[in-house]
Amino acid sequence: MRILAIGGTGFIGRFTLPLLAGMGHDVIAFHRGERTAPEGIASIHGDRRDLPAYRDRLQSPPPDVVIDFLLSNERQADELVELFGSTSRLIMLSSCDVYRAAGILHGTEPGEPDNTPADEDSPLRTHLHVYPPAVVRQIRTVYPWLEEDYDKIPAERAVLGARGTVLRLPMVYGPGDPLRRFLPVVKRVDDGRRVIVLDQATADWRGVRGYVEDVARAIALAATDARAAGRVYNVGDPENFTELEWRSQIAEAAGFLGRFVVVPAERLPEHLRGRGDLRQHWIVDSNRIRQELGYAERAPRATALARTIAWERARPPAAIDPAQYDYAGEDSVL
């Protein structure tokens, strides 16, 4: 098959495109050219924010499948459907933030927490734009393609209306993670901290995660299996660990010799307190993609953690916000 990747040179795409090429498909990446495409992947340079301007180049010949790694709002989805909906099967990377649970967590949805794992038919948010503009602008420092009116819900509707496939992704970790989710733990381990503190609500909170190489396999599987047309799939590890369990696994893999201490939030410095209504977990059921498409994780968790930690240590950030590592303040709690 001829597969066009819109984006594909970033965090997740760099693992996905080589998988597709290794399966024998003709893979082309449409990107700005600021990064090189993975080895062996052809490129068309252009800007996703002006997709219709590249119609002739992208449709010569029409791809069988289009994977949009950058889709972030309804306008972009409408452009994608108008350009490719009649000729290609569309694959949209969405997020588990579409669920009502994410709105309760972030304070945009009314009602009490419901901690039943969300499956693909669970209620979605009724209010759009779950992240405030200031938060979106901050995220755009690492995801510059993100639109300020980001919301996957109306984008999903457009893609599903064209019999596309929607993959709702978890919090993805692994080598190259722009959000550096492991850094707060790994840095404290490497700085010789003997105690890591967190508040009780954060310690108890559960979230859905996925290792980037496994997430890439899920995308490749959905892109190459016609049974995925018109379907929505949650992607994520089968276990939804508490934050304390998850940080403990990272710390142990990093060689931590100390201990975690859980204290009431009011005793912690501001930078260590959890955000949002942490009574609401962010957990999902990912059985549908396993049952319908035969998906299963292949990377052992020990391997996934080790690779991510090694990447963090090999690439320390150029700048660190000292307020986030106020060790004197943390010691005062103890």
Band of the pLDDT at 180, cuts 50, 70, 90? Answer: very high
In DSSP notation, 149-188 reads T--HHHHHHHHHHTT-EEEEE-EEESTT-TT-TTHHHHHH
3-state secondary structure of 242: strand
Distance CA 237, CA 206 (A): 12
**What phi and psi values does residue 188 have, to the nearest 5 degrees?**
-65, -40
The pTM is what? Answer: 0.95
Using CA atoms, how far apart are residues 210 and 40, in angstroms rounded to an integer? 26
Strand partners, 260: 196
Radius of gyration of the chain (CA): 20
pLDDT, tens digit (0-9, with 9 covering 90-100), for 232-263: 999 999 999 999 999 999 999 999 999 999 99
Given a cut of 90, is residue 319 above it in pLDDT?
no
Cα 330 to Cα 327: distance, rounded to the nearest angstrom: 5
The residues that bridge with 196 in the sheet, in sequence order, are 260
- CA angle 262/265/266 to nearest 5° reads 130
Question: Cα dihedral angle (301, 263, 202, 259), rounded to 10 degrees?
Answer: -10
Range 96-105 average pLDDT: 96
Residue percentage of the chain with pLDDT more than 70: 100
Cα–Cα nearest to 132, from 156, 148, 145: 148
pLDDT > 80? residue 93:
yes
Domains of the chain with CATH codes:
2-333 (3.40.50.720)
* pLDDT single digits (tens) 147-176: 778 899 999 999 999 999 999 999 999 999
Evaluate the omega torsion of the peptide bond into residue 62 and state whether it is cis, within 30 degrees of 0.
no
Which element (helix H / strand E) includes 66? strand 65-68
